[in-house]
């Protein structure tokens, strides 16, 4: 083949290890083999040996050669560091194996080609692409199909890498016409491959495909009635992608396309129906297409509603009638959870309530969604709507997601279309029809709430009655739908509303929390957490029965639902706050929490959500938590110490697995909770900690992982607020790290750490007090970092806000050092904070700004409009701050009455009126 050749000793060692790996019964042997295979990756020509076994050792069993092929795929990235001889050998060997007589070997080689072609890129391996395309003309159907299989995967995984010029020509200029011809191939699999390959170039706006767009659309219409469901599925998929990228090409034929898609949405093959349902979801998501979709609504919505009924396959999978509360969960039932730590943010007047920024966003069926504000960089939105009864995306979920988006887009119009259909299904004798209608009500809750609200006095009692249904799937979906309407049920409208809707919903969901079916427990507990959040203080009169029910669940729940229960308890603590300090409530709740705490080992992943729950409980219970602090504080300190030691060992030996940071993050957050709840009462515990907590904290601030630094800075801020005398000796070493953390344009994953650092420095500045000589040394470095953050156009809003608050607070304490810089940041400062709700942090920041204006009145001259706008946005400034506003405004007017009058006359009328009403200026 070429100049690389294997050493016999190395070949035999790798071959023997692969043979040994086929003994799957001995887990210890398997671990040793995995370790050995990992060590092989350090050999510079390991992948060449694997390619040699795959292609050349024809005397070996196909299974052994295939395992070598899979190992090669998994280690394909090593080719980047390989010598030219190894690269050349691997390329040639894989193409040789791709023509092997064994289907197993060919399949493994095909996967290797996909992986290697993606890493090397077609421009660096044109002969591979040439061979694949040439093989499409082979008279051997198996080879033809194998080549098309590889090409389809390549087109799906990296279409942009194929849309390039290679040696003076564009491969797609001959590939795309060939694919178009092959849509007519007599074999269904080849037709399906051809349509799939073409469709993957639509989202990247491939000009070569778009130059043949009419031929492509004509080919799709021609294949629309294909007898093979795989071909029809790819036709639907291609139409979905065209709708998203080139809708104008479909609009002239939209009548026919819509009829075809409606017909396909009812296809008896679920894969076809699912792709067709995606069409309606895509259609609904584009607001520009609403005028084209609106005339179709009366046809589309009822079809989607019918698609939401469980299929027979779903029901087989769900084992839906079990009373399985006593059946332990399998490990595979439990999804991995990612704990991100607490981030400091502010509530805004205009857009909703950010009272609980750490609460995970919950999707339509209770799954956690990425937060897309500052750090949402999750690109896979397909599952945004649903994690309901099974783990995978299916027709039912897609139809529900489409209905959800249609509701947002068309509101009451959608309800009018579906009202009779919903009534028929809700009152049907068939529980499957009832269940689907309840799901639909939940899916439509957000978009249609205004239109549905007049019906809720009838619907809520109906839903509460459905909690008694004998079918667990009806009970569980009813929980979810009640959760979607919880904000209406919890409104403190009247005593009658409370007695008719709120209390029955509360009682009904609490019963579901203790249901004998695990799926119902899960849905009930999740919906109850939503109710807690919406009800807030309205729950206080019912705390004792709520707590007694939740405590029973601690003894009843299996592993998976226990994690949801922790979340419900934490959410309850956040919702009712200090009301939890009643000794009766403490006595009910703490014993089961401490029992769980004592059962879990330090490396048990379930400790993370329990610590998260306890962080909320400690803040709410405040001083009444003191009797329980000792062992919890000591364990958190030990967790931090051990986690840091593990990370240190990992840094010294990168072959180790990277330690799980969650334990460290959540221990820091629980200590933040203890600090907020107990303040200086923690002094004896901090002083006695071994190693000292504050020494460990300074190490956490240097941690390479941003979420650890994020929680560490949150703890610095909380310690400054609640027990500053204990923190002060460590501030010099903390400040060094803190200044370095402040970055005007942090990487996305560093934003929350930077946020918390920016916030905590303001808390520290306040506690040092006015003109403190020790803090003065840091004012310059801090302000020169904070002002660029405030002025940076791409910095997230939360970072602007925290930077502005800390500039104000540092200015309040050291006005002589900050006031000369006022003209640089005054306008941006006012723009950052005018929408934030009144609170103590905002108050101290504004007192700082006023102090700076007093020290340098000309510094606000160019930003006077923004300053006055920020003043009048206050609802209830403190007496001290209001007096400062009055003094400054009166001073401006008295200093130059005519100039003041001229400037104010240019302000928007609302600002002029508020200034005159409140401050007489």
pLDDT tens column, 299-318: 999 999 999 999 887 787 77
Q: What is the pLDDT of residue 691?
A: 93
Arithmetic mean of pLDDT, 771-780: 95
Read off the pLDDT of each residue in 746-767 and give the average, rounded to a whole number: 90
Confidence band of 377 (pLDDT split at 50, 70, 90): very low
DSSP structural state of residue 689: -
Is residue 104's pLDDT more than 70? yes
For residue 347, the model assigns a pLDDT of 67
The partner residues of 836 in beta bridges, in order of sequence, read: 348
pLDDT beyond 90 at 592: yes
Asked whether residue 563 carries a pLDDT value surpassing 80, the answer given is: yes
Residue that the structure tokens 């439509």 belong to: 444
Range 600-618 average pLDDT: 91
- Element holding 765 (H helix, E strand): helix 751-768
Report d(CA 638, CA 220) in Å as an integer. Answer: 64
Q: Bigger pLDDT: 686 or 2?
A: 686
CA dist list (Å): 789 to 11, 38, 702, 742: 57, 44, 21, 8
Count of positions (residues) in the chain: 921
Q: For 92-104, what is the mean pLDDT?
A: 93
- The CA–CA distances, whole Å, from 636 to 757, 769, 832 equal 22, 31, 36
pLDDT class of 390 with cuts at 50, 70, 90 = very low
- pLDDT at 244 (0 to 100): 92
Whether the CB-CB separation of 171 and 217 falls below 8 Å is answered with no
* For range 457-470, the mean pLDDT: 96
Q: By three-state DSSP, how is residue 602 classified?
A: coil
Q: Please report the pLDDT score of residue 331 as a whole number.
A: 67
pLDDT of residue 187: 94
Query: Is there a contact between 297 and 419 (Cβ–Cβ < 8 Å)?
Result: no
* Cis peptide preceding 691, ω within 30 of 0: yes
The pTM assigned to this predicted structure is: 0.80
Q: What is the model's pLDDT at position 307?
A: 95
Q: Which residues pair with 514 in a beta bridge?
A: none
* HSE-up (13 A, CA, CB side) for residue 202: 24
Q: Output the pLDDT for position 387.
A: 40
Q: Which of 388-392, 435-439, 817-821 has the lowest mean pLDDT?
A: 388-392
Specify whether the CB–CB gap between 48 and 88 falls below 8 A.
Answer: no
Identify whether the C-beta of residue 505 lies closer than 8 Å to the C-beta of residue 460.
Answer: yes
H-helix or E-strand spanning residue 368? strand 368-369
Cα distances from 55 to residues 19, 61, 111, 911, in angstroms, run 17, 12, 14, 79
First-to-last CA distance in the chain?
90
**The pLDDT of residue 374 is above 50:** no
pLDDT single digits (tens) 57-96: 999 999 999 999 999 999 999 999 999 999 999 999 999 9
Q: Three-state SS for 794? A: coil
DSSP string for residues in 392-448? S--HHHHHHHHHHHHHHHHTHHHHHHHHHHHHHHHT-SSHHHHHHHHHHHHHTHHHH
Backbone torsions φ then ψ of 90, nearest 5 degrees: -60, -45
> 234 or 742: whose pLDDT is higher?
234
Per-residue pLDDT at 382:
35
Q: At what angle do helices 559-576 and 607-621 cross, to 10 degrees?
A: 20
- pLDDT exceeds cutoff 60 at 636: yes
What integer pLDDT is reported at residue 348 of this predicted model? 64
Q: How confident is the model at residue 349 (pLDDT cuts 50, 70, 90)?
A: low
Instruction: Compute the mean pLDDT over every residue in the chain, rounded to the nearest whole number.
Output: 89
Q: How confident is the model at residue 606 (pLDDT cuts 50, 70, 90)?
A: confident
Q: Sorting pLDDT into bands at 50, 70 and 90, what band is 796?
A: confident
The per-residue pLDDT for 521 is 96
575: which residues sit within 8 A by CB, 6+ positions away? 532, 533, 535, 536, 537, 539
pLDDT above 80: residue 734: yes
Closest CA to 808 of 785, 791, 788, 825: 825
Higher pLDDT, 393 or 849: 849
Give the pLDDT of residue 344. 66
User: Percentage of the chain surpassing pLDDT 90?
Assistant: 77
Task: Say if residue 431's pLDDT is above 80.
Answer: yes
* Per-residue pLDDT at 358 exceeds 70: no
Pair type for strands 361-362 and 368-369: antiparallel
Please give the average per-residue pLDDT across 108-134, as a whole number. 93
Environment class of residue 708 by beta-carbon count within 10 Å: exposed (0-12), middle (13-18) or buried (19+)? Answer: buried
- Residue 351, pLDDT above cutoff 80: no
Helix (H) or strand (E) holding 302: helix 297-307
Instruction: Answer yes or no: is pLDDT of 183 > 80.
Output: yes
Least confident of 22-36, 121-135, 442-456: 22-36
Q: Strands (DSSP E) along 712-820, which ranges?
A: none
Q: Which residues have CB under 8 Å from 653's CB, separation 6+?
A: none
pLDDT at residue 34, as a whole number: 82
What pLDDT is recorded for position 335? 63
Quick one: which of 101, 173, 538, 615 has its CA closest to 359? 615
Percent of the chain with pLDDT over 70: 93
Beta carbons within 10 angstroms of residue 262's beta carbon = 18
- Mind listing the pLDDT tens digit for each residue in 263-288? 999 999 989 999 999 999 999 999 99
């Amino acid at each position: 083949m070429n100049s690389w050749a294997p050493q016999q000793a190395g070949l035999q060692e790798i071959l023997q290890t692969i043979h040994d790996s086929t003994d799957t019964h001995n887990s210890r042997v398997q671990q040793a083999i995995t370790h050995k295979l990992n060590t092989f990756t350090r050999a510079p020509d390991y992948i060449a040996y694997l390619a040699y076994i795959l292609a050349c050792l024809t005397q070996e069993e196909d299974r052994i050669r295939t395992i070598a092929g899979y190992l090669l795929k998994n280690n394909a990235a090593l080719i980047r560091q390989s010598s030219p001889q190894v690269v050349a050998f691997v390329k040639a060997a894989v193409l040789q194996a791709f023509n092997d007589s064994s289907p197993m070997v060919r399949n493994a080689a095909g996967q290797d080609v996909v992986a290697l072609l993606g890493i090397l890129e077609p421009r660096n391996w044109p002969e591979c692409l040439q061979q694949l395309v040439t093989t499409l003309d082979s008279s051997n159907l198996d080879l033809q199909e194998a080549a098309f299989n590889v090409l389809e995967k390549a087109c799906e995984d990296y279409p942009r890498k194929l849309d390039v010029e290679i040696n003076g020509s564009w491969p797609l200029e001959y590939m795309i016409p060939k694919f178009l011809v092959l849509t007519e191939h007599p074999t269904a699999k080849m037709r399906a491959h051809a349509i799939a390959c073409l469709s993957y170039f639509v989202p990247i706006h491939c000009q070569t495909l778009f130059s043949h767009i009419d031929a492509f659309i004509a080919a799709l219409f021609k294949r629309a009635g294909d007898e093979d469901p795989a071909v029809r599925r790819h036709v639907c998929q291609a139409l979905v992608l065209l709708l998203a990228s080139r809708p104008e090409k479909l609009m002239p034929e939209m009548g026919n396309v819509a009829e075809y898609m409606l017909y396909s949405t009812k296809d008896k093959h679920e894969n076809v129906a699912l792709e067709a349902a995606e069409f309606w979801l895509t259609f609904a998501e584009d607001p520009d297409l609403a005028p084209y979709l609106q005339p179709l609504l009366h046809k589309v919505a009822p079809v989607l509603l019918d698609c939401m009924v469980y299929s027979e396959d779903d029901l087989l999978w769900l084992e839906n009638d079990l009373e399985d509360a006593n059946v332990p969960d399998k490990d595979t039932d439990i999804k991995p959870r990612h704990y991100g730590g607490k981030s400091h943010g502010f509530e805004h007047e205009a857009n909703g309530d950010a009272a609980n920024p750490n609460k995970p966003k919950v999707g339509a069926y209770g799954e956690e969604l990425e937060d897309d504000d500052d750090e949402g960089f999750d690109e896979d939105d397909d599952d945004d709507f649903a994690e309901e009864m099974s783990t995978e995306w299916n027709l039912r979920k897609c139809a529900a997601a489409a209905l959800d988006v249609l509701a947002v887009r068309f509101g009451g119009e959608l309800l009018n279309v579906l009202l009779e259909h919903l009534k028929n299904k809700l009152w049907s004798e068939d529980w499957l029809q009832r269940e689907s209608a309840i799901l639909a009500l939940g899916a439509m809750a957000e978009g249609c709430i205004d239109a549905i609200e007049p019906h809720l006095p009838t619907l809520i009692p109906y839903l509460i009655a459905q909690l008694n249904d004998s079918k667990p799937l009806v009970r569980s979906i009813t929980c979810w739908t009640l959760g979607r309407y919880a904000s209406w049920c919890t409104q403190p409208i009247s005593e009658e509303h409370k007695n008719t809707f709120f209390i029955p919903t509360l009682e009904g969901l609490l019963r579901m929390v203790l249901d004998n079916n695990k799926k119902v427990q899960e849905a009930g507990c999740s919906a109850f957490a939503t109710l807690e959040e919406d009800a807030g203080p309205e729950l206080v009169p019912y705390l004792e029965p709520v707590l007694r029910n939740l405590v029973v669940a601690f003894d009843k729940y299996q592993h998976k639902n226990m994690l949801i229960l922790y979340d419900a308890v934490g959410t309850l603590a956040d919702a009712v706050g200090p009301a939890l300090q009643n000794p009766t409530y403490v006595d009910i709740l703490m014993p089961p929490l401490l029992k769980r705490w004592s059962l879990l080992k330090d490396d048990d992943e379930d400790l993370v959500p329990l610590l998260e729950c306890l962080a909320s409980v400690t803040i709410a219970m405040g001083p009444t938590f003191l009797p329980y602090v000792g062992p919890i504080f000591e364990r958190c300190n030990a967790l931090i110490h051990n986690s840091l030691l593990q990370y240190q060992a990992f840094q010294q030996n990168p072959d180790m697995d990277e330690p799980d940071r969650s334990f460290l993050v959540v221990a820091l957050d629980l200590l933040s909770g203890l600090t907020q709840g107990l303040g200086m009462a923690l002094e004896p515990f901090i002083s006695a900690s071994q190693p000292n907590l504050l020494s460990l904290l300074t190490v956490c601030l240097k941690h390479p992982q941003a979420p650890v630094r994020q929680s560490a800075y949150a703890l610095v801020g909380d310690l400054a607020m609640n027990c500053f005398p204990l923190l002060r000796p460590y501030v010099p070493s903390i400040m060094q790290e803190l200044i370095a953390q402040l970055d005007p344009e942090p990487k996305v994953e560093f934003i929350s750490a930077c946020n918390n650092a920016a916030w905590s420095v303001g808390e520290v500045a306040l506690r040092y007090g006015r003109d403190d000589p020790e803090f003065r040394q840091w004012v310059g470095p801090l302000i020169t970092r904070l002002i660029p953050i405030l002025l940076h156009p791409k910095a997230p809003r939360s970072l602007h806000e925290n930077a502005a608050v800390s500039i104000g607070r540092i200015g309040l304490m050291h006005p002589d050092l900050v006031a000369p810089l006022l003209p640089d940041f005054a306008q941006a400062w006012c723009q950052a904070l005018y929408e934030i709700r009144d609170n103590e942090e905002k108050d101290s920041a504004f007192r700082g700004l006023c102090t700076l204006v007093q020290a340098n009145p000309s510094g606000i001259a160019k930003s006077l409009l923004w300053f006055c706008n920020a003043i009048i946005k206050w609802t209830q400034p403190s007496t001290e701050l209001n007096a400062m506003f009055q003094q400054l405004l009166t001073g401006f007017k008295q200093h130059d009455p005519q100039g003041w009058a001229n400037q104010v006359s240019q302000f928007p009328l609302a600002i002029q009126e508020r200034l005159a009403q409140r401050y007489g200026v």
